Amino acid sequence: MNAKKAILLFATLLGIVALSFFLTPSDKKLTDRFILYGKVSDMTKSNNHSFGIIGFDVDSIVNGRIDTIRTEVGTPYKIDNSYAEVYAAIPIGAELASRIKVDVLEKTVFLMQGDSILFKSDIYIQTDKQNLEFIRKNSRIVDNKIK
């Protein structure tokens, strides 16, 4: 193999590796490892299918501390002290839920009545522009502070 072919092959492989990093599915970028438990305080549903904001008072956090949790644009949750929001599907009948469990490691939110699970929904990095705009306009947490 001549030098030109070797350089071309190396450049191609390097490009594939770099491209795979940028094309990693957004849910793979959700790397936090904690579980939140709380009491549901409010739900705001958008007009984009069943997407919405579930607000809750945090009772406990497992495997983490609130001050270390990332909340960049698109992250499917925000936390300010003892109030948190999760951005996920809100199915019909979800208003019956009184408790919530957000398991970021499993990328799942559970809406519960007592200890019974009523609904299970996936959470993921938000990339849909309509959902991001809905969060911006309707979130009670702005710049990591409750409004």
Chain segment 60-101, per-residue pLDDT in tens = 988 876 655 566 678 888 888 889 999 999 988 888 889 999
**What integer best gives the mean pLDDT of the chain?**
80
Question: How many other CB atoms are there within 10 angstroms of residue 106's CB atom?
Answer: 14
pLDDT at 19: 40
- Residue with more model confidence, 132 or 21: 132
CB burial of 75-97 (b: ≥16 within 10 Å; e: otherwise) equals bbbbbbeebbbbbbbbbeebeeb
Beta bridge partners of 119: 111
- Average pLDDT in the 9-16 region? 51
* Residue 10 pLDDT exceeds 80: no
Query: Are 105 and 35 within 8 A, CB to CB?
Result: yes
For the chain, what is the largest distance between any 2 Cα atoms, rounded to a whole number of angstroms?
A: 70
pLDDT at 49: 84
Chain segment 20-39, per-residue pLDDT in tens = 444 344 555 566 778 999 99
pLDDT-above-70 percentage for the chain: 71
Query: Are 108 and 47 within 8 A, CB to CB?
Result: no
pLDDT at 55: 95
* Residue 145 pLDDT exceeds 80: no
